[in-house]
A and B are shown apart, each in its own frame.
Chain A
Amino acid sequence: MIARSRRPLAALVAAVAVAASLIATSVPASAATYVVVSGSGSTWSSNALDQWRRNVANNYGMTVNFSGTGSSAGRADFIKGTVDFAVSEIPFQAAPEDGSAPERSDRPYAYLPIVAGGTALMYNLVISGKRVTDLKLSGEVVTKIFTGQISRWNDPAIQALNASLTLPDMKIVPVVRSDGSGSTAQFTKWMSTQYPGIWTTGMTSQFPADKLPDAKRQSGSLGVSGYVGNDNGVGSITYVEYSYPKGMGFPVVQVQNAAGNFVGPTAENVEIALRLARINEDQSSPDYLTQILNDVYSNPDPSAYPMSSYSYMIVPTAVGGVFTTEKGYTLGEFVKYVVCDGQKQAGALGYSPLPMNLVKAAFQQITRIPGSAVGEFNADSCNNKGAAGEAQAGGGGGAAGGAAASGGAAAATAGDAAAAGTTTEPVYDANGNLVSGSAGAGGAAAVSSPFTLAASSFGASQVGMLIATILFVVAVLVPPLLVRRARRR
């Protein structure tokens, strides 16, 4: 009986397998010279890597797989040898903060910069029914907010920087990441470098649990940005990749840079800041090839965004394990695409293109990948100045206006939202949320119950309602009694 009943199931599985093989053969075979390359790591960079993976598949028939499981998981995978490359915001930790064994890779490796971006501070503040879109904060105020030293929006330090706004007496709700995250690492690195007296914990991927007991902790960039973007999130502020508030049409804080200007994390401003990024060239140091961003944070350029950084790709520099020369050739071509043509789309994706100094540094490392055929850096063939070339005046709107020119309705909507920031007509983002301007209904009004009466005193309508209620109750209770009496008769 059971054998008979398994037959249809077996037939179903066989049919699926046949269909699957048909589908597999219908996919165009990749170019004979490329092999499949797999990597894992940073979720911060996964948006960009997904787009680049798709571009190389489209343009060259190259197959690259990337799993966004987290920077530490990526580094661990690289150490174990289960992936061909890893992407991480922080290098291998020689002295992990919790006293466990240092991360040491038996495979020789190199770091190269691939994706740059700014840490954006997304906030949700409503004054008299209108959403605030031009909040300005200094780095010190930001650090104090995220250590709990400034806890209300109308704190004099914040009010002093925003003379045009009457800030409400509301509690600031900081929203931080509950999972280990590269955004936390980059944010805490900036705080610990610039304001070590206020932020004493140093750089960490896990926002400390004992700091900020009143903070909300949400998982993932989606969680933190979703919390702030919700109606319940009025008064909250968080740090997140710029692509999220950009996609949601939400405003971000304009942070004061070393020149005293308040700038937003647009692609141009981040790229300008990163021109002062340096790479550790000391071969004997354990931090060889890692980033030195102290000059970036205090870049004197008037348009530089201080909280800028980039993430690394960790590539093997020797054949072994799963890594072969053919994979090295494919990986080399992929990285070359990423740091050159791929950077054109960085702005649209919410990141920033790598400045030339970092591109040159990347090329130096690509040549160390066994099997790569990428030559020396050639400024003419590697042009990544796409949309970032249009200079935007410092300050001003928070969204990347020019970079929104590429396809994708979301980017365009965000651009419109920013441009319309000061008009009074309501502007909505892709999800229909009110971004700026006054809506007809006056924004968040008090919840009105669905069945209120106009006046509260005893008037004609109230009498009518009372009579109607009594009639209904009578209509419900009386007939059964009448029917019972009729039956008995």
Chain B
Amino acid sequence: MSIVDAQERVRETPTDAVSRGGGRTRVPTAPAGRARPERRRPGTAALEDGFDLGGALLAGICVATLLFGWIAPLSGIIGWIVVAYIVFVAVYAVLVGLRADRLAVANRLATVLMATAGIVVLTALVFVVLYTVGRGIPALSHPNFFVETMRFAGPLDPLDVGGIAHAVVGTLIQIGIALAITVPLGIVTAVFLNEIGGPFARFVRTVSDAMTALPSIVAGLFVYAALITLVTKERSGFAAAVAITVMMLPIVIRSADVVLRLVPHHLREASYALGASRWRTVWTVVLPTSRSGLATAVILGTARGIGETSPVLLTSGVTAEMNTNPFSGPMISLPLQVFTFVQSPEPQMVARGFGTAAVLILLVLSLFVVARLIGGRGAGVLSDGQRRRATHRSRHDLIRITHRTRTDSPARSGGTTPTQENP
């Protein structure tokens, strides 16, 4: 064929080709009379799925009841729950297998097992927290518990005298000092391990890994022997803060290390390729990307540090008075106060102890919430305020650029390229 013919053929549309009867692409036409297939809705669970789940649950309950009540001489509520669960899983697998293949059964079973793990964790937590709060309610129901100190309250005093304000203040001061030391030191060390590396970094990593298993009492003994005996000669809040730091540091380093490792390499390489220096890459790319993970690392370290009794037992001393000076005099904190209270033979002191534990849980939880609010967002996700400000700046940039291009004379060509704004 000639070139002209081929060119014309290229310009043809498919229908022309079909009507011409010679095109290579055949467009099939739908046969008449077939109903439209039903819409599939992928998001909602089908009725059968719910039925499978509910039915399996019922089957588990019934079989366990049968075994425990009648057939087999088993007893105890825990055994009942275990047997019911096992039967539930087995029946559920069978039911799902009636309608779907092996892969789907494995998928659903995995989901069920994961949900079980979540429920068990939830239940255990509820038990522990409810137990603590329940035994502490006699003390918690008095408002003086939160604002007074134990200066004027002794073992024989009823619960409407005395409180733990001094322990709360002590905890906040000690954990504040510990965080002020641990957070910068830990995160910079983790950055060192990941960014700079080398044999010294491997050594640091090995040592800090080993320190995560340090018994808390040894940290306390160390601070007592090194700091108190040699330097300060008396127990103080600062010594307790140092002991807490020794406990927290390895955990923060380890967790931050795991998290910084997760930052994708190509982000770093892109930053280097754009000409950023080492530290600028870390500051603007690596740390913001792993911000939520670093918040988690700090939270985990704080949780360990704030709830440990033995390091502060040896280093902070016990007092019933409010002491806001961390460098002189004993300063008690909440976990030590719990420990001291519950060892007492008087029931109202024990109730005070559980109330203190409940207050400690609440305090730590609020610290966590604050930490997640500060650092919990993922990389690149902006808060509302930040988004508004970024939009504002972009609008200004747009105005600036359009002004410049409008008023731009050729003599000023090659003028300023838009510079990279600070985020």
Q: Chain A residues in contact with chain B, CB under 8 A?
A: 1-2, 5-6, 8-9, 12-13, 16-17, 19-21, 23-24, 27, 36, 38, 40, 43, 46-47, 50-55, 57-58, 63, 65-69, 73, 80-83, 220-222, 225, 241, 243-244, 246-248, 321-322, 345, 348-350, 406-411, 430-431, 447-453, 462, 465, 469, 472-473, 475-477, 479-481, 483-484
Whether the Cβ atoms of A410 and B233 lie closer than 8 Å is no
Instruction: Give the docked Cα–Cα distance between A465 and B345 (Å).
Output: 51
User: Can you pick out 22 interface pairs between chain A and chain B where the beta carbons lie within 8 Å of each other?
Assistant: A1-B288, A17-B173, A23-B322, A47-B346, A57-B320, A57-B321, A65-B330, A225-B345, A246-B345, A322-B233, A322-B234, A408-B156, A431-B347, A449-B68, A449-B69, A451-B69, A451-B80, A462-B70, A472-B58, A473-B59, A475-B58, A483-B48
Tell whether B263 is near chain A: CB-to-CB under 8 Å: no
CB-defined contacts of B112 to chain A, threshold 8 Å? none
Whether the Cβ atoms of A50 and B342 lie closer than 8 Å is no
* Among all A-B residue pairs, the 4 with the closest Cβ atoms: A54-B154, A449-B75, A451-B69, A476-B55
Instruction: Give the docked Cα–Cα distance between A430 and B62 (Å).
Output: 40
CB-defined contacts of A472 to chain B, threshold 8 Å? 58-59, 62
Tell whether B307 is near chain A: CB-to-CB under 8 Å: no
Whether the Cβ atoms of B317 and A54 lie closer than 8 Å is no
Tell whether B105 is near chain A: CB-to-CB under 8 Å: no
In this complex, what residue of A is CB-closest to B161?
Answer: A54
Interface residue from B151, B156, B173 paired with A407 (Cβ < 8 Å) = B156
CB distance from B379 to the nearest CB of A (A): 10
Instruction: Give the docked Cα–Cα distance between A65 and B150 (Å).
Output: 11
Whether the Cβ atoms of A65 and B58 lie closer than 8 Å is no
Tell whether B394 is near chain A: CB-to-CB under 8 Å: no
Whether the Cβ atoms of A350 and B345 lie closer than 8 Å is yes
Of A24, A430, A475, A479, most B-chain CB atoms within 10 Å: A24
CB distance from B95 to the nearest CB of A (A): 6
In this complex, what residue of A is CB-closest to B149?
Answer: A27
Instruction: Give the docked Cα–Cα distance between A346 and B235 (Å).
Output: 29
Whether the Cβ atoms of B229 and A80 lie closer than 8 Å is yes
Whether the Cβ atoms of A67 and B235 lie closer than 8 Å is yes
CB distance from B213 to the nearest CB of A (A): 22
Whether the Cβ atoms of B66 and A469 lie closer than 8 Å is yes
Instruction: Give the docked Cα–Cα distance between A411 and B349 (Å).
Output: 13
CB-defined contacts of A449 to chain B, threshold 8 Å? 68-69, 74-76, 80
CB distance from B414 to the nearest CB of A (A): 33
Instruction: Give the docked Cα–Cα distance between A67 and B312 (Å).
Output: 11
Whether the Cβ atoms of B313 and A69 lie closer than 8 Å is yes
Interface residue from A225, A349, A452 paired with B69 (Cβ < 8 Å) = A452
Whether the Cβ atoms of A465 and B348 lie closer than 8 Å is no
Whether the Cβ atoms of B156 and A480 lie closer than 8 Å is no
Tell whether B52 is near chain A: CB-to-CB under 8 Å: yes
Tell whether B51 is near chain A: CB-to-CB under 8 Å: yes
Interface residue from B157, B158, B233 paired with A82 (Cβ < 8 Å) = B233
CB distance from B302 to the nearest CB of A (A): 12
Instruction: Give the docked Cα–Cα distance between A67 and B150 (Å).
Output: 14
User: Given known contacts A13-B176, A472-B62, what 7 new A-B pairs fall within 8 Å (CB)?
Assistant: A38-B235, A54-B151, A65-B318, A322-B234, A451-B65, A451-B68, A465-B70
Of B69, B95, B370, most A-chain CB atoms within 10 Å: B69
Q: Chain B residues in contact with chain A, CB under 8 A?
A: 48, 51-52, 55-56, 58-59, 62, 65-66, 68-70, 74-77, 80, 91, 95, 98-99, 149-158, 165, 169, 172-173, 176, 228-229, 233-235, 283-284, 287-288, 291, 313-314, 317-322, 324, 329-330, 340, 342-348, 370, 373-375, 423
CB distance from B376 to the nearest CB of A (A): 10
In this complex, what residue of A is CB-closest to B329?
Answer: A36
Whether the Cβ atoms of B75 and A447 lie closer than 8 Å is yes
Instruction: Give the docked Cα–Cα distance between A21 and B324 (Å).
Output: 7
Classify the secondary structure of B's interface with A: helix
CB-defined contacts of A407 to chain B, threshold 8 Å? 156-158
In this complex, what residue of A is CB-closest to B151?
Answer: A57
Instruction: Give the docked Cα–Cα distance between A488 and B233 (Å).
Output: 86
Q: Given contacts A12-B370, A349-B155, A481-B98, are A453 and B70 in contact (CB under 8 A)?
A: yes
Whether the Cβ atoms of A469 and B62 lie closer than 8 Å is yes
The number of A-B residue pairs with CB atoms under 8 Å apart is 201
CB distance from A11 to the nearest CB of B (A): 11
Instruction: Give the docked Cα–Cα distance between A170 and B81 (Å).
Output: 33
Whether the Cβ atoms of A24 and B322 lie closer than 8 Å is yes
Interface residue from A2, A53, A241, A477 paired with B345 (Cβ < 8 Å) = A241
CB-defined contacts of A20 to chain B, threshold 8 Å? 169, 172-173, 324
CB-defined contacts of A58 to chain B, threshold 8 Å? 152
Interface residue from B155, B287, B340 paired with A2 (Cβ < 8 Å) = B287
Whether the Cβ atoms of A57 and B329 lie closer than 8 Å is no
CB-defined contacts of B48 to chain A, threshold 8 Å? 480, 483
Instruction: Give the docked Cα–Cα distance between A220 and B309 (Å).
Output: 15
Whether the Cβ atoms of A247 and B347 lie closer than 8 Å is yes
In this complex, what residue of A is CB-closest to B187?
Answer: A2
CB-defined contacts of B51 to chain A, threshold 8 Å? 479-480
Whether the Cβ atoms of B329 and A220 lie closer than 8 Å is no
CB-defined contacts of A451 to chain B, threshold 8 Å? 65, 68-69, 80
Interface residue from B77, B154, B284 paired with A450 (Cβ < 8 Å) = B77
Q: Given contacts A450-B77, A476-B56, are A47 and B344 in contact (CB under 8 A)?
A: yes
Whether the Cβ atoms of B321 and A63 lie closer than 8 Å is yes
In this complex, what residue of A is CB-closest to B233?
Answer: A82
Whether the Cβ atoms of A222 and B233 lie closer than 8 Å is no
Instruction: Give the docked Cα–Cα distance between A406 and B154 (Å).
Output: 13
Instruction: Give the docked Cα–Cα distance between A38 and B344 (Å).
Output: 20
CB-defined contacts of B95 to chain A, threshold 8 Å? 476-477, 480
In this complex, what residue of A is CB-closest to B152?
Answer: A58
Instruction: Give the docked Cα–Cα distance between A43 and B342 (Å).
Output: 13
Interface residue from A1, A40, A247, A447 paired with B317 (Cβ < 8 Å) = A40
CB-defined contacts of A222 to chain B, threshold 8 Å? 342-343, 345
Instruction: Give the docked Cα–Cα distance between A50 and B320 (Å).
Output: 9
CB distance from B237 to the nearest CB of A (A): 11
Of B76, B346, B370, most A-chain CB atoms within 10 Å: B346
CB-defined contacts of B91 to chain A, threshold 8 Å? 476
Whether the Cβ atoms of A65 and B62 lie closer than 8 Å is no
Q: Given contacts A67-B318, A348-B156, are A410 and B347 in contact (CB under 8 A)?
A: yes
Interface residue from A57, A410, A480 paired with B52 (Cβ < 8 Å) = A480
CB-defined contacts of A241 to chain B, threshold 8 Å? 345
Whether the Cβ atoms of A54 and B152 lie closer than 8 Å is yes
Instruction: Give the docked Cα–Cα distance between A483 and B70 (Å).
Output: 34
Whether the Cβ atoms of A16 and B172 lie closer than 8 Å is yes
CB-defined contacts of B318 to chain A, threshold 8 Å? 40, 65-68
CB distance from A237 to the nearest CB of B (A): 18
CB-defined contacts of A447 to chain B, threshold 8 Å? 75-76
In this complex, what residue of B is CB-closest to A247?
Answer: B345
Whether the Cβ atoms of A23 and B152 lie closer than 8 Å is no
Instruction: Give the docked Cα–Cα distance between A451 and B91 (Å).
Output: 22
